[in-house]
Amino acid sequence: QVQLVESGGGLVQPGGSLRLSCAASGLTLESSAIGWFRQAPGKEREAVSCMSSVDGSTYYADSVKGRFAILKDNAKNAVYLQMDSLKPEDTAVYYCAADEYLCAVVPGTTYLMDYWGKGTLVTVSS
């Protein structure tokens, strides 16, 4: 049984940093596509960052490029999202998701990811 468990969310002031963690079990992240997605209130879920297992490429949404970084630790079977220079518009529930092959990052296709965590809330506010 595959489980993805996120942690590290919380309240942070604009300009601050947070590091989200996702611990995986029942799935080897080294050979899986793994990424972070988010859903803000009233908005569609969107891909934030994702690492493909097919070609090793990494996707970042334009809105987070230069501020967020995805990191994978194969030894710990975990993935992280380092978020710097946070903005109020980054407020959302952040989900870790995995797939056997692909990163579903096109809007409207994120449901294609095979496995999802329950999410962790990030609130950016002064």
Whole-number pLDDT of residue 56: 80
Q: Do the bridges between strand 68-73 and strand 58-60 make them parallel or antiparallel, or are there none, so unpaired? A: unpaired
Whole-number pLDDT of residue 92: 98
pLDDT in tens, 24-50: 999 999 889 999 999 999 999 999 999
Whole-number pLDDT of residue 46: 97
Whole-number pLDDT of residue 51: 95
pLDDT in tens, 71-125: 999 999 999 999 999 999 999 999 999 998 889 999 889 889 999 999 999 999 9
* Range 24-47 burial, b when 16+ CB lie within 10 A, else e: beebebeebbbbbbbeeeeeebbb
pLDDT above 90 (res 54): no
pLDDT above 90 (res 70): yes
Whole-number pLDDT of residue 101: 85
Give Cβ neighbours of residue 88 (< 8 Å, ≥ 6 apart). 14, 124, 125
